[in-house]
Copies of this chain bind each other. A is one copy, B any other.
Amino acid sequence: MMYDKEQLSARIEAYMQALPFPQEPDTLYEPIVYSLERGGKRLRPLLAAMACNVFRDTIDEVLPCAAAVEVFHNFTLLHDDIMDNAAVRRGKPSVQRKWGVNSAILSGDAMLIYAYRLLEQADTALLPQILRIFNDISLKVCEGQQYDMDFESLEHVPMESYLRMIELKTAVLLAGATAIGAVVGGASVEDRRRLYAFAIQLGMAFQIRDDILDSYGTEETLGKKIGGDILEGKKTFLTTAAMETADEDTRHKLAGLMHNKAMIPDDKIARVLAIYDRLGIRERAEQAVADYTAAALEALDGVSAPEERKAQLRSLAAALNRRMH
């Protein structure tokens, strides 16, 4: 049968909440359970389950792999929060703020291993292929995070490098989840590749939408203050496009603003947004999201399955495109 998004989400959530963790040492496992309890979109396991369901009527077989990707994703958030010295994650204290840095490092390590433990439940005939995809994307996510850190000390990053970075840091994990789902579903190599390509494009759109929302969303729907990226001087699609589009004078002004830590926050945000507006950056970002989404759907068209079996992935792409948070 075909499952809709709500049914899949419910199955995934139930599976995630029932993951068996050892009781002892509680100092190791409590932060892991805490990290995984805090919800989030569960986008990656959802993609895995939907991709599986394109080719297969049952989704039980994909749940351990889907959960593995989600556990891996939450491991990256846990370690990223240490590197960014982040105090809050999804409205709650970050693990490192609650339990300390050492605990956050070690619990993160254990989460990463636990993700691999979930892969043990995959069909043994498929395991080599699944392990290869999982390793490949996991290492790429680390590479993306490293580029992101390396970029912090650069004044300007070429758009090509920025796009490569978000592909590694964000898109590849969505793509890997989707590809693993396809493998479990029994997809051909070609269809698995098309779905991987679909999710890469979707992931690019997803990250650029994130960048747009951080500057142009509303606090109510986003659940956090607007302009955080600007205040942190973070490289985003918006800053990268602006630096590329601006004349030398504006570029200089923008770089100065991004580095200025003394300015009143609301002032800083307003001035940066004024530059974006003058340069038409928001429109360019919206266009990029639309282009990537279109490319994603085109890749999906190529997947050799009846249209109705691809409907859930198609509507997920549309929902991500118009999301407000």
Using a CB–CB cutoff of 8 Å, the interface residues on chain A facing chain B are: 22, 24-25, 27-28, 79, 82-83, 102-103, 105-106, 108-110, 112-114, 116-117, 119-120, 124, 127-128, 131-132, 134-135, 138-139, 142-143, 145-147, 149-150
Count of identical protomers in the assembly: 2
Partner of A139, one of B113, B145, B149: B113
Cα of A202 to Cα of B183 in the assembled complex, Å: 42
Contact residue among B106, B127, B128 (Cβ-Cβ distance under 8 Å from A145): B106
Q: How far is the CA of A290 from the CA of B131 in the complex (A)?
A: 42
Partner of A83, one of B105, B112, B146: B105
B110 and A139 within 8 A (CB) = yes
A82 proximity list for chain B (CB < 8 A): 102, 105
Q: Which 3 A-B pairs have the closest CB atoms?
A: A28-B146, A110-B142, A83-B102
B139 and A117 contact, CB distance less than 8 A: yes
Residues of chain B lying within 8 A (CB to CB) of residue A109: 79, 108-109, 112, 142
For A131, the chain B residues whose CB sits under 8 A away are 116, 119-120, 127, 131
A112 CA to B108 CA, complexed, in Å: 12
Partner of A120, one of B28, B103, B124, B128: B128
Tell me whether A124 and B128 are in contact (CB under 8 A): yes
Residues A143 and B105 in contact, CB atoms below 8 Å apart: no
| CB atoms of B83 and A28 under 8 A apart | no
Determine if B127 and A113 form an interchain contact, defined as CB atoms under 8 angstroms apart: no
Taking CB atoms, residues of chain B closer than 8 Å to A22 are: 143
Give CA–CA (A79, B24) in the complex, Å.
21
Inter-chain CA distance A76–B89, complex, in Å, is 26
When the two chains form their complex, are residues A120 and B132 in contact, meaning their CB atoms are under 8 A apart?
yes
Nearest CB in chain B to that of A109: its residue: B142
Task: Evaluate contact between B113 and A25: CB separation under 8 angstroms.
Answer: no
